[in-house]
Amino acid sequence: MTIEITNESGVTVDERKLLRLTEHNLAQLHVSPDAEVAILLVDEGAMESLHVQWMDEPGPTDVLSFPMDELRPGTADLPTPAGLLGDIVLCPQVAEVQAEQAGHSTLDELLLLTTHGLLHLLGFDHAEPDEEREMFGLQRDLLLSFHTAERRHRS
């Protein structure tokens, strides 16, 4: 599995934890170990430019996803084939504000946003209530299983 993380945000981020989270999530979703994904962390100015260019919305946002090969989650018997999942773009400065509002750390917010972005790469959406329930439920389950695995790993 190729996971490339590039931090151009000017904010120090635990990239190893983002990597472990992405590896965990891809394994849980039965995505081929030969799949590729890129995670880019950018500052507010760069994120605002992308937000305007691709979503036609003003201001910086927290996460954007750019799917490439339109891969979908697999199963234990039939994993997702190898391919290019796409890019997840995160803005740590926006994540920091949201983390304060939510009462958790910026890293926890970035883990949530990375998981959210990955689910978008795999075709999930939250435009309709039933889609939102499915996507946010899976997002919660993935984060809980990751935190459980991390606690076991430290023990």
For 11-63, write each residue's pLDDT tens digit: 999 999 999 999 999 999 999 988 999 999 999 999 999 999 999 999 999 99
Answering whether pTM is above 0.75, one says yes
For 50-68, write each residue's pLDDT tens digit: 999 999 999 999 999 999 9
Cβ–Cβ under 8 Å, residues 51 and 58: yes
CA-to-CA distance for 49 and 56, rounded, in angstroms? Answer: 10
pLDDT exceeds cutoff 70 at 155: no
- Listed residue (24, 113, 123) closest to 68, CA to CA: 123
